[in-house]
Amino acid sequence: MINAGTMIASAIFIVPASIALGLRAPVLIIAVWVLGGVVSLLGALCVAELGAAYPDEGGQFVYLRHAYGPLWGFLYGWAATLVVNPASIAAIAVGFATYLGFFLPLSGTGIRVVAVGSILALTALNAVGVRPGVLTQNVLTGLKIGALAAVVGVGLLLPGGSAANFSPAMPAASVSDLAGPLGVAMVAVLWAYDGWIEITYVGGEVVDAGRTLPRSIILSTLLVLGLYVLVNLAYLYLLSPEGMAASPLVASSAAQAVIGSVGASLVAIAILVSTLGANNGIVLTSARIPYAMARDGLFFQWAARVDRRFDTPLLALVAQGVLSAVLALSGTYQQLITYVVFASWLFYAMSAAAVIRLRHKAPGLARPYRAWGYPVTPIVFIGFATWLVGMTIVETPMESAIGAGIVLAGVPAYWYWARRDEGGERRRVMTDDGDGS
């Protein structure tokens, strides 16, 4: 529920319109959603091996540290803690508040205030214990999966659609003409699938992690892949590629085609549930990254404190909530996300490569799960991630340079904390024989 709930946010209700605008052909539209899901699944298979081998809080911070050394783990944690996760929380919260305006007209200030209120409420909920946050995640994710299933059922079973909308199946354009639109569509689709790594941030709190983490990661990715493909089939059946491209809120238009104006209200409710559920998952898990860094002596020590009453990293959650709220109020979250989007996929590629590196570096490491299709699985994923990073740099060189600067600003910060914790680091090195023990 954490993984699926984080992947399913607002993208599936909106992104299909821009993809249809670029591709204009049913086969290509469905193919790009399938391909994006398969690429995400390849990454999920790699991370499943790492998560089962290192079931600890912090996710990629832990994996990159073991594979490449503490600096790389820190740089990932630095970017995730200060930019990626708070900016994502802020963006999703503003999306939630914007759609709440469908029922309660809100000014620009009102949207920001509601966004901040939702961030603080979710932070408080997850601060008072893991169980309330998990229960909320289960309920909200169950509702959003039900909502997507309803879109599929209504779209494909009730009168209002036409099989003629699937013709012509392929565009008349040449392959070279489609290369650009296909690349843009893949970026949007991979963004819609993002979140398949979320459960690894709380790996140390998962029961029977060696078995549960791989199942969670793989099954949630497969579930979302199936839902996304079926939802796009329903959109096509009801609207045609041209109709999808002409509707920025494609889910609302599809629902209206079958059940009228009531459909728009139901879709707005579904988006509210989806955004709230996605943010709850991010709030719940992401605070464990600075917690893990601080526990290793590479961040402010207050972030490693676990509240005795609630058994949660209370101060890390509060700091994350405050930073996210500030970004939501200032409106700078969108620029920050643009700056670091390439860095996120760079770290994904490094995590997949870590599977290969650790197979050679630590052959004796206990691996309750081994990535299916190794070594092809990590190699193919690394190829796609590298292509995405390269295309992002080419298309947005200035933003990518700023993002690289944000990540590299973590180097002096790492030196500062590493020097302060030299004794503790030596002790950890002496007790780490390379296999994670």
Q: Where are the domains of the chain?
A: 2-431
Whether pLDDT at 175 is above 70? no
Whether pLDDT at 426 is above 50? no
- Contact assessment for residue 318 and residue 119, using Cβ atoms and an 8 Å cutoff: no
Kindly state the average pLDDT of the residues 23-28. Answer: 88
Kindly state the average pLDDT of the residues 41-70. Answer: 92
- Contact assessment for residue 222 and residue 73, using Cβ atoms and an 8 Å cutoff: no
Least confident of 360-364, 408-412, 424-428: 424-428
Average pLDDT across the chain, whole number: 87
**C-alpha to C-alpha distance for 381 and 41, rounded to whole angstroms:** 9
Tokens 């990535």 belong to 371
Whether pLDDT at 61 is above 70? yes
pTM of the predicted structure, to 2 decimals? 0.86
Please give the C-alpha separations between residue 107 and each of 70, 94, 102, 103, 117, in angstroms, as whole numbers. Answer: 46, 12, 12, 13, 15
Class in CATH terms, 2-431: mainly alpha
